[in-house]
Amino acid sequence: MIKVGIVGASGYTGLELIKMLITHNGFTLSYLATTQGGIDVEALHPSMQDIISLPVEKADATVVAERCELVFLALPHKASMGFAKALLDKGVKVVDLSADYRLEIDTYEENYCPHEDKEHINESVYALIEYYREALKTTNLAAGPGCYPTATLLGILPLVPYLDANAPLFVDAKSGLSGAGKNLSENAHYVNMNENIFAYKALSHRHEPEIAEKIEKVHGVKLNVNFVPHLIPVTRGELVSVYGTLKEDVNPLAILKEHYKDDPFIRIRENPVDIKSTAGTHFCDIYAIKKGNALFVSSAIDNILRGASSQALAAANLMCGYNEGMGLPVIPYMP
């Protein structure tokens, strides 16, 4: 058994990691931490009472390195890079869920903040599993993709070679509120969110350059990506609708089926997808249709699992020589 830890154990993605790691056959959860610590996990997450008992400590990279061979950083961007740098220098494998190691340094600094770990950013592997599986097997640093980019890229990447690169690509995304983390904001108040839906950061969200950068990395083509996210009044789930222009007469559903035929966690659907069928799972469901040269691709994921924690666990499995699917949830919360 490989000893693993979670820094950021009080957050939404931290809790999902705890739940999966409790029953994992190759990992032992040996360390949990938050900014302050000093609490047991049962008190921190009352839903975990009588399921797991472990102290939650004040995060300390030296202690983590003594106790763990691999650490999940379920932290906000900027906080992650300090821990990652210290842990990697001590030989600990890192799976970072934040944006800190996802992007080229220029893209990162344009959209986030100055980077404080230039040494390791070039060593990271983008943990979009279906595209970076082989590279993940040999890296010590996996960078979890953003939740919106995960759903968007899994849907559109197989179809990029058939797109008219001169036409804009529109990405219309809708997310449950857990995507924003546990801290309250004006948008997150019940009266603002209940029975409501609205766009935010239209054409200016940080996930737009991430989507564009990864399309260019995989296919060598620069697309004009236009991304508009929306908040919807559900706890978890993300639905992404992509609108593009085809340059040739192809069957998009057949392309998706062929592309993902060996990928057990991608389900190509015959009808438009929904978020509830993937909630609680690592699945990404995808559907596509065209009319003339107009293309519609629709994908759904659970933002805290496939968009964050289960994708991080899949990366950790690969980094440690385990089967990619070990311990990943597959039973949806339906109904």
Site for ligand NAP in 40-59 (CB under 6 A): 59
Number of residues located near ligand NAP, criterion CB under 6 A: 30
Catalytic residue among 68, 147, 284, 320: 147
Instruction: Find tokens 């202690």 and name the residue.
Output: 63
Binding of ligand NAP at residue 280 (CB under 6 A)?
A: no
Largest CA distance in the chain: 61
Among 8, 229, 237, 252, binds ligand NAP (CB under 6 A): 8
As measured in angstroms, the least distance from the Cβ of 247 to ligand NAP is 32
Helix orientation angle between 129-136 and 310-319, rounded to the nearest 10 degrees: 30
Site for ligand NAP in 153-212 (CB under 6 A): 178-179, 181-183
The nearer residue to ligand NAP, 209 or 244, going by C-beta atoms, is 209
CB–CB of 184/192 below 8 Å?
A: no
Instruction: Find tokens 């070679």 and name the residue.
Output: 161
Torsion sign over Cα 190, 196, 202, 205: positive
Q: Which two tokens stand for residue 205?
A: 């969200």
Q: Which two tokens stand for residue 269?
A: 């659907």
The nearer residue to ligand NAP, 10 or 317, going by C-beta atoms, is 10
- Nearest-5° Cα angle at 285, 283 to 289: 165
Binding of ligand NAP at residue 30 (CB under 6 A)?
A: no
Among 307, 313, 318, 327, binds ligand NAP (CB under 6 A): 307
Pick from 17, 98, 79: which is nearest to 313 by CA? 17
The nearer residue to ligand NAP, 256 or 275, going by C-beta atoms, is 275
The nearer residue to ligand NAP, 18 or 157, going by C-beta atoms, is 18
Binding of ligand NAP at residue 64 (CB under 6 A)?
A: no
Q: Which stretch binds ligand NAP (CB under 6 A): 12-20, 60-68, 101-109, 160-168?
A: 12-20
Can you list the positions of beta strands (E) in the chain?
Answer: 2-7, 27-34, 39-40, 55-58, 70-73, 93-96, 125-126, 141-143, 169-175, 198-199, 225-231, 238-245, 266-268, 284-291, 294-301
Binding of ligand NAP at residue 34 (CB under 6 A)?
A: yes
x/- map, 118-157, ligand NAP, by CB under 6 A: ----------------------------xx----------
As measured in angstroms, the least distance from the Cβ of 309 to ligand NAP is 8
Q: Which two tokens stand for residue 330?
A: 């597959």
Q: What is the rounded (10 degree) CA torsion for 143, 146, 147, 150? A: -70
Tell me if residue 68 is catalytic: no
Annotated catalytic residues are 147
Summarize as ranges the residues that interact with ligand NAP (CB under 6 A). Answer: 7-14, 34-36, 59, 74-77, 79, 97-98, 146-147, 178-179, 181-183, 303-304, 307-308
